[in-house]
A and B are shown apart, each in its own frame.
Chain A
């Protein structure tokens, strides 16, 4: 569905922004693109969505080089920006009617249905967007993307600005879209989103992909050679992290009762730091 081969990009000053990027996203896959600010993930998304065309290498969407597809490609892709860009003087319904009218009629979903899907309160649907909270605007933006039934979704920080219930809803919708066969490309620096939603993730740092695999494999590939032991001594709760080899020789400390022993699983963030040598900020 998306194929990127030897992608290189630099702005006019000649400083390379993307260096030899390679990856493929299969149809119906949720692919996470993770990296700190300035790592090149936004540039990659701009290239994939056809906004930047002065790149070197091969970028194919549905088997066709993106440069050669022209504006027709936008009938097939939907892009959700991190910020909810909408006409604030128009209502949610007016915004959706307006943006929807650029697509073929048979491709468009019913406006009420998509607003229902993103759970926008009925009483707000015909009020100007300037009266909405950021979360409500984000819901309308997502509805704008969904209403054209795109084959590929590009989501930039999809749950940023949402309250917990909104985040849960968005994740549910993303999974439903995947179930319909939509390919989803998520750009984020939220490791929990990536871990929870993505089939595969790529770590990008300084314009280079440092790792690409499923979240599970990425986490298990890093040695999990420690256990965390919680115990009580003289009525005081304590905990200690031990090398797994150490417990083979029994517990090298004095205790009355072992309360629990469990492995300390690495989070995606831990993996990212280990792989890239830096954090996500």
Chain B
């Protein structure tokens, strides 16, 4: 059985090399890393969409930078009013010594409060060290790391949920179009091995991708801290997405139908979670999407603040087993139909 599994794995490796999947993966690693290092981090530190309202109490104003996103208000009432008008804004009150007295975040989710507060303070106070503000664990300098980790988590998740999903489906459609899928019905090898070899291959590729993504974008030192948790998340998530890609490829007759479904999934199920996990946006419906929990777990692992793993792991394992059984039966049906 082990020998047969090795044979299947070798064949799948040959196929993904010949169909240039590895090239796509490598290109996306390079392009996304260049984006994070040269565009996202340098451009992304600017508060593009977030307005900062500053109240200076009994002291001379000392704005360190002037731009359209920073507004000085005269009193607390004006500050509250400004935040009521702009639910995504940040209010900062500076005491007479020039230190921040408090950071007021109006209707902002807990997960992004700290990031946004630090964001605002860094814009308003030159050399702000965070000591006087009720935000304990973020310090100046963490912002960029956090941004890098956030974007890296988005890309790793997208790679798994979209590229692998599409990759395994493309591979399967190729085998389906060549008709070789029918041969697996009459070979002395289990169909589960056929499915498992793809799961393992994509898992290994995703782990390599995630490790390289971390090393290239959040640095070696931080990567070493977070990688065990991140790899664990990849181990739990990648088989699910590969098996889902396989299932969709089995359900849909051709690549065109599949691409339509795939686009819907990307637009409706995968992309929104990035928005709701990494920003202050709130929507109750997002909690109904399994991808929300999957991405949250990866995101928190990337930020060095992993979620409790036991229940989540259990849910993932049950899902993997369920999908394997479903795919086995669908594959059997596909072979019978031929």
Instruction: Identify the A interface with B (CB < 8 A).
Output: 46, 49-52, 71-75, 77, 79, 81, 83, 85-90, 94, 98-99, 101-103
Contacts of B175 in A (CB 8 A): 87
- Selected from A49, A88, A89, A98, the residue in CB contact (under 8 A) with B7 is A98
Contacts of A72 in B (CB 8 A): 188
Cα distance, A138 to B50, chains bound together (Å): 66
The chain A residue with its CB closest to the CB of B177 is A88
Q: How many residues of B contact A (CB 8 A)?
A: 23
Q: Are A77's CB and B183's CB within 8 A? A: no
The chain B residue with its CB closest to the CB of A11 is B336
Q: Does B187 contact A (CB under 8 A)?
A: yes
Cα distance, A79 to B189, chains bound together (Å): 15
- Selected from A46, A74, A81, the residue in CB contact (under 8 A) with B188 is A74
Contacts of A85 in B (CB 8 A): 178-180, 182-183
Stretch of B12-20, B122-130, B247-255, B257-265 that contacts chain A: B12-20
Q: Are B336's CB and A102's CB within 8 A? A: no
Q: Does B185 contact A (CB under 8 A)?
A: yes
Chain B 1-18, CB within 8 Å of chain A: the 1/0 string? 001100100010011001
What 20 new A-B contacts, CB under 8 Å, besides A71-B189, A81-B182? Answer: A46-B336, A71-B187, A71-B188, A74-B186, A74-B187, A74-B188, A77-B186, A81-B179, A81-B338, A85-B178, A86-B178, A87-B11, A88-B178, A89-B15, A94-B14, A98-B7, A101-B3, A102-B7, A102-B188, A102-B189
Q: Are B188's CB and A103's CB within 8 A? A: yes
A51-B336, A89-B18 known; A99+B188 contact, CB < 8 A: no
Cα distance, A49 to B183, chains bound together (Å): 11
Cα distance, A72 to B1, chains bound together (Å): 12
A51-B186, A74-B186 known; A98+B11 contact, CB < 8 A: yes
Q: Does B190 contact A (CB under 8 A)?
A: yes
Contacts of A98 in B (CB 8 A): 7, 11
Cα distance, A61 to B60, chains bound together (Å): 97
Q: Are A99's CB and B14's CB within 8 A? A: no
A-B contact pairs, 17 of them (CB 8 A): A49-B186, A51-B185, A51-B335, A71-B187, A71-B188, A81-B179, A85-B179, A85-B180, A85-B182, A85-B183, A87-B15, A87-B180, A89-B15, A94-B14, A99-B187, A101-B4, A101-B7
Contacts of A94 in B (CB 8 A): 14
Instruction: Identify the B interface with A (CB < 8 A).
Output: 3-4, 7, 11, 14-15, 18-19, 175, 178-180, 182-183, 185-190, 335-336, 338
Report the minimal beta-carbon distance from A138 to chain B, rounded to whole angstroms.
13
Contacts of A46 in B (CB 8 A): 336
The chain B residue with its CB closest to the CB of A141 is B183
The chain A residue with its CB closest to the CB of B174 is A89
The 8 tightest CB contacts between A and B, nearest first, are: A85-B179, A74-B188, A101-B7, A79-B186, A89-B18, A75-B188, A102-B189, A102-B187
Report the minimal beta-carbon distance from A43 to chain B, rounded to whole angstroms.
10
Contacts of B14 in A (CB 8 A): 90, 94
Contacts of A73 in B (CB 8 A): 188
Cα distance, A103 to B335, chains bound together (Å): 20
Contacts of A83 in B (CB 8 A): 179
Count: A-B pairs, CB below 8 Å: 56
Report the minimal beta-carbon distance from B30 to chain A, rounded to whole angstroms.
25
Contacts of A86 in B (CB 8 A): 178, 180
Contacts of A50 in B (CB 8 A): 186
Contacts of A49 in B (CB 8 A): 185-186
Report the minimal beta-carbon distance from B192 to chain A, rounded to whole angstroms.
11
Q: Are A52's CB and B336's CB within 8 A? A: yes
Report the minimal beta-carbon distance from A135 to chain B, rounded to whole angstroms.
16
Cα distance, A86 to B185, chains bound together (Å): 14
Contacts of A75 in B (CB 8 A): 188
Contacts of B3 in A (CB 8 A): 101
Report the minimal beta-carbon distance from A108 to chain B, rounded to whole angstroms.
12
Report the minimal beta-carbon distance from B153 to chain A, rounded to whole angstroms.
35
The chain A residue with its CB closest to the CB of B178 is A88
Contacts of A81 in B (CB 8 A): 179, 182, 338
Report the minimal beta-carbon distance from A87 to chain B, rounded to whole angstroms.
6
Cα distance, A156 to B34, chains bound together (Å): 55
Q: Are B19's CB and A99's CB within 8 A? A: no
The chain B residue with its CB closest to the CB of A129 is B178
Cα distance, A265 to B59, chains bound together (Å): 118
- Selected from B4, B179, B180, B185, the residue in CB contact (under 8 A) with A102 is B4
Report the minimal beta-carbon distance from B18 to chain A, rounded to whole angstroms.
5
Cα distance, A89 to B18, chains bound together (Å): 7
Q: Are B19's CB and A89's CB within 8 A? A: yes
Report the minimal beta-carbon distance from A208 to chain B, rounded to whole angstroms.
22
Contacts of B189 in A (CB 8 A): 71, 102
